[in-house]
Structure formats: C-alpha cells, structure tokens
Amino acid sequence: MLKSSAPAQAGAQKEGEAGFRPAPGCKIAWGYAFVAGLVGASGFEPLGLAPLMLIALAILMWLVRTAPTLRSALARGWWFGAGNFVLGLNWIATAFTFQAAMPVWLGWVAVILLSLYLAIYPAAAAGLAWRWGRSDPLRLVLVFAAAWIVTEWLRATLFTGFAWNPIGIVLLETPVAALATLIGTYGLSGMAVLLSGALFLLAERHLKSVLAVVAPIALLAAILALQPRATIAADAMAIRIVQPNISQADKWKEDVSDRNLALIQSLSGRPSDKPRLLLWPEAAVTEQLQDGRAYPFLQRYILRLRQRVARSIGPNDVLLTGGVTFQAPDGKKVTSATNSIFALNSDGDILARYDKAHLVPYGEYLPMRPILSAIGLSRLAPGDVDFQPGPGAQTIAIPGVGPAGFQLCYEIIFSGQVVDRAHRPAFLFNPSNDAWFGAWGPPQHLAQARLRALEEGLPVLRATPTGISAVIDASGRILSSLPVGTAGAIDARLPMARAPTLFARLGNILPLLVALFLAAIAIAVARKAR
C-alpha cells in the first residue's frame, strides 16, 4: 500500500523518506499510464464498466504524485489520455469504410492523431495536480478534480470543440448522476475524479480524507434522489419514431433512394385524424427539400418531392425529418448546403426549418479545402459542396406541436449549448445518423443525449436510421428504444418537461464555480498543513 508522508518543505518527496515507495522509471510509468487509459475507456459504453474508469483514474493520481518532475507528470497524463481516447474513439475509424475517396487505413490514422491532440487536456490536468498538490494526497485529489473540470470544458470549447466521452458519463447509471442537474456534465466529471481520488486516498491510508470526499457527494446524491421523477401527461401528444435500418452503404445510392423512402413511409403507419408527431432520422430524405436555385422545373420537382413525403402525414400530423437544402444566393449557382430538420404538414408545406450549427470538420465541411483537396483528401459525407452552419440553438413554435428544440446529430454532445435559455422548449428532437460509427459510437451517443435530458430537465427524442432510436424522459431515463440493426418504429406519448434545473438556468458557469471552490479548499488544506 502507498503511504502518504508529511509535506516536505519544498513540497516534494525524496527517496528514503518514511512511507515513500519509489515510482517506476519514466518509460515504464508511461506504459502504466497508457494501459490505465485503455482500461478506463471500458467504463464508457458499450462496455459500461464504470468501476474500471474510477480505478484507472486512481492509478493516474498515483503516477502523477510519484512523478519526479512536472514534465514527467505531464507525460504520464498525456499517455493516459492517449490510451483512453484511442480505445474510446475507435468508432471514428469505421466511418472511413463508407467512402471510396481515401484509403480505409486512414481512419485509424485519424483516430490516433485526434487522440494525441485530445490527450493534451488530461496532461494539463495532471500537470496542474502535480504542481499544486503533489506534497499532500488530499490536495492532489482536489486540484486534480478542479483541473479536470476546467480542461474538459476547454476540450469541448477550443477549436470548435470535441466533447465526446466526458469522464462523468460513467456515473450515468448511479445516483450521483443526479448532480448533473446542478453542476452539469463537467461538474459531474469532477465528481468522478473525486470518487477516484477516494480510492487513491484509501490506498494512501488517509481514511478521514476519504470520508471528507465521499460524504458530501453521497449526501447530495441522496437528497436529489428524493425528487419526483419526470412523468407523462394522460393527454400527451402521440409520437412515432421511425428507424428504417438503412445502412450507410445504401443511404446515398441514387438507384435505391425511392426504395429507402418507401421503407420509411411504410414504417410511419397509416395517417389518421388524431394528432400525431412523426419523427424521421437525420437526412431521411437524401434529396434537397429546399433549393435556392430559381429554375421553375427544379422548384416543381422539389414541391412534388415534399408532397410525396407528405403522404405519410395525416391532416393533423406534423412530420419532423432530417433533410438538406442547397444555397444559391444568385438563384443559379449552388455555393453551400445546410444539414437541416424540416417540419412538414400533410400538404408538404414547410412549417419550420432548423439548420445544424455545430458542423463536423471533415464530415460536413473540409477545413483548408484548397490545400487538403489538392493532396487528395475529401469530406467523409458525399458531395462537393460544404455545409454552412445555422445560427445555433433555437426554440421554434410548431403549429399543433408547440415549442420544440432541435439538436442535429452530434450537436447533442455539447453540454450547456443545446437550448435557447431565453425561450425554453417543451422537448428536444435529436435526429442522427449513427450508421457511420460501428458498434461503439451509437451507445456512446445515446448516453450523451441522456445527460442532456438530465441536465436540462427536458425529454429528448432520438431518431436514427440504424439505431439507437429512443424516447428519453426529462430525468434521463430511456422509456423506449430500438437497438442497432433493427427496422421498426416506436409509438409513445411525449414525456413532460420538468421545471428548469439549476444548470438549465445558469449553464456552465456552475461547473467552473465548482472547480474554483475545489481549488479554494485545496489552498485551505495547504495552509492548514503549514
């Protein structure tokens, strides 16, 4: 067992001090950190082995505390992050198997390069923990948790952000997840680090510190668990979510587009006089539903397409479907496109449109296109025209439905950015195309949608072509779902929204305040030690 020693005057331990166990050599420590990161990634879906993530983080804390220098601590955090992201993001490589413009092996190159970049953030957290907490185990844990909150928020923010797989998501099936209603996902990640820190402190035989860390989290989780859960009103609107199980390989083929649309319509059920909200996946209609080119024959064709789509819609129904638009400012030449959600009525009229704001680099647009296209790189999604972003989170009042919020595909992963706080919706619609992402991507995506429901106190409705489609209530519970690789439909009633949570009111200022609070406690611990 590791034993803590009293803080040295210079804040560092020396070999020969009582209770000190020398750390492994640098390269061996890097290997330990990398393996710990790999093991920790099994805490994410689809494996969902949450205790292994907590154990892995505890090992990282030991490696950081025994690091001889700041540079060594940074390296150990970086190797942990590299292992964690390489395994957790392996689904990205699958996306490269659905295009012919680039070699498939480039997918794993993309996974590795992205992981090497993302590992900078846990490295920064490790460096801060070593710099300000290495002389005392409790202080190390507190600084580590504070630093992790900030660096994870930065990961979701800088350079368009990539918020996939926050550490706190491993607590989703535990009572501690309820804290997300107060402090959001990044605050929940801080709680995961604190719980891992309790394991580290237990190994260091700091039993009082273990109690000081665990007791407040357990008490707050117990109080929140007493709150009433989300409900469904007896007169709630009927909804039907369609999952056609159309593979990515077949989705964009022109010779099967009519067959695919017919399949989606057959799963939509017969229209009736009773009001119904019909929900189709992202880009369910692969031809443009709006086109800025003013050619009369083209506009007639698009109108007929919308009317054909509208055959699935009853006189009191509303269809929300993913589709695309072409933008032509001069009425002639297409300059860009939008990845959109359309609200259509039974006449094929467009009641509303939401344009995706948080676009995927290399998926929906090619950064530095003149340079990258010249060396043979292209977008993963088909097409020569890049998508342009919409204005951001919006609440749109849809006739017969009410105020609806929209998050298209991976937009749903960005904590604190999914709702127009000035105009709160009654639910969030999250159509997606997870057919790109193999076995690991869809369950991870679903877990992040559940966190948004929990944070915001809003139901989330997911429609995907191949799974996992789901109805998620405002407490983050899955009420109904269709697994990957299944064609079918979900018939349900629209769950009720809860009163706005504290996080829904204030957003990501709250986890950052938690980080500041933990840092203040760490300073107080240091002063008491002196």
Check whether residue 63 and residue 202 sit in a common domain.
yes
CB 123 within 8 A of CB 75: yes
Name the pLDDT band for 7 (thresholds 50, 70, 90).
very low
Q: What is the pLDDT of residues 381-396, one digit of tens each?
A: 556 678 888 999 999 9
SS3 string, 192-224, reads: HHHHHHHHHHHHCCCHHHHHHHHHHHHHHHHHH
Mean pLDDT calculated for residue range 351-361: 90
Q: Is-catalytic flag, 409?
A: yes
Q: Choosing from 152, 204, 409, 455, which is the catalytic residue?
A: 409
Mean pLDDT calculated for residue range 249-255: 70
Mean pLDDT calculated for residue range 198-215: 91
Q: Over 90: is that where the pLDDT of 130 sits?
A: yes
Check residue 110 and give its pLDDT.
Answer: 87
Mean pLDDT calculated for residue range 302-314: 92
Check whether residue 199 and residue 289 sit in a common domain.
no
Chain centre distance of CA 255:
34
Check residue 190 and give its pLDDT.
Answer: 97
Name the pLDDT band for 107 (thresholds 50, 70, 90).
confident
User: Does residue 4 lie within any of the structural domains?
Assistant: no
Cα Dmax for the chain: 86
Q: What is the pLDDT of residues 65-96, one digit of tens each?
A: 999 999 999 999 999 999 999 999 999 888 77
Q: Which positions ≥6 away from 177 have C-beta within 8 Å? A: 171, 188, 451, 454, 476
Please report, rounded to a whole number, the percentage of residues in the chain having pLDDT higher than 90. 68
User: Does residue 489 lie within any of the structural domains?
Assistant: yes
Check whether residue 517 and residue 493 sit in a common domain.
no
Check residue 449 and give its pLDDT.
Answer: 97
Check whether residue 488 and residue 517 sit in a common domain.
no
Check whether residue 75 and residue 148 sit in a common domain.
yes
Q: Is-catalytic flag, 26?
A: no
Strands 460-463 and 427-431: parallel
SS3 string, 141-170, reads: HHHHHHHHHHHHHHHCCHHHCCCCCCHHHH
| C-alpha–C-alpha distance, residues 480 and 224, integer Å | 24
β-pair partners for 238: 276, 493
SS3 string, 444-457, reads: HHHHHHHHHHHHHC
Q: Which domain holds residue 183?
A: 26-228+508-529
User: Does residue 441 lie within any of the structural domains?
Assistant: yes
| C-alpha–C-alpha distance, residues 400 and 397, integer Å | 9
Q: Is-catalytic flag, 27?
A: no
Name the pLDDT band for 194 (thresholds 50, 70, 90).
very high
| Helix axis angle, 207-225 to 180-203, nearest 10° | 150
End-to-end CA distance of the chain: 26
Name the pLDDT band for 258 (thresholds 50, 70, 90).
confident
DSSP character for 361? B
β-pair partners for 317: 276
Instruction: Please indicate whether residue 105 or residue 357 has the higher confidence score (pLDDT).
Output: 357
Mean pLDDT calculated for residue range 483-495: 95
Check residue 4 and give its pLDDT.
Answer: 40
Check residue 502 and give its pLDDT.
Answer: 96
Phi, psi of 395 (to 5 degrees): -110, 120
Name the pLDDT band for 263 (thresholds 50, 70, 90).
very high
Q: What is the pLDDT of residues 131-165, one digit of tens each?
A: 998 889 999 999 999 999 999 999 999 988 999 99
User: Does residue 7 lie within any of the structural domains?
Assistant: no
Q: Which positions ≥6 away from 507 have C-beta within 8 Å? A: 184, 416, 421
Q: Choosing from 282, 364, 411, 455, which is the catalytic residue?
A: 282
| C-alpha–C-alpha distance, residues 428 and 88, integer Å | 26
Check whether residue 221 and residue 323 sit in a common domain.
no
| C-alpha–C-alpha distance, residues 115 and 147, integer Å | 19
Check residue 2 and give its pLDDT.
Answer: 37
Q: Over 50: is that where the pLDDT of 239 sits?
A: yes
| C-alpha–C-alpha distance, residues 303 and 176, integer Å | 50
Check whether residue 380 and residue 515 sit in a common domain.
no
Burial class (CB in 10 A: 0-12, 13-18, 19+), 483: middle
Check whether residue 314 and residue 214 sit in a common domain.
no
| C-alpha–C-alpha distance, residues 181 and 504, integer Å | 8
Q: What is the CATH number of the domain that holds 449?
A: 3.60.110.10
Check residue 9 and give its pLDDT.
Answer: 34
Check whether residue 222 and residue 255 sit in a common domain.
no
Q: What is the pLDDT of residues 419-463, one digit of tens each?
A: 999 999 999 999 999 888 888 999 999 999 999 999 999 999 999
Per the structure, the count of domains in the chain is 2
Q: In 156-270, which residue ranges form alpha helices assigned H by DSSP? A: 180-203, 207-225, 248-251, 257-267
Mean pLDDT calculated for residue range 485-502: 95
User: Does residue 361 lie within any of the structural domains?
Assistant: yes
Instruction: Please indicate whether residue 247 or residue 496 has the higher confidence score (pLDDT).
Output: 496
* Selection from 505, 425, 448 nearest residue 183 by Cα: 505
Check whether residue 282 and residue 209 sit in a common domain.
no
Mean pLDDT calculated for residue range 18-27: 55
Check whether residue 54 and residue 171 sit in a common domain.
yes
Check whether residue 58 and residue 88 sit in a common domain.
yes
Q: Choosing from 152, 204, 356, 411, which is the catalytic residue?
A: 356
In whole numbers, what is the pLDDT of the chain averaged over residues? 88
User: Does residue 5 lie within any of the structural domains?
Assistant: no
β-pair partners for 398: 402
User: Does residue 171 lie within any of the structural domains?
Assistant: yes
* Selection from 189, 179, 185, 184 nearest residue 216 by Cα: 179
User: Does residue 16 lie within any of the structural domains?
Assistant: no
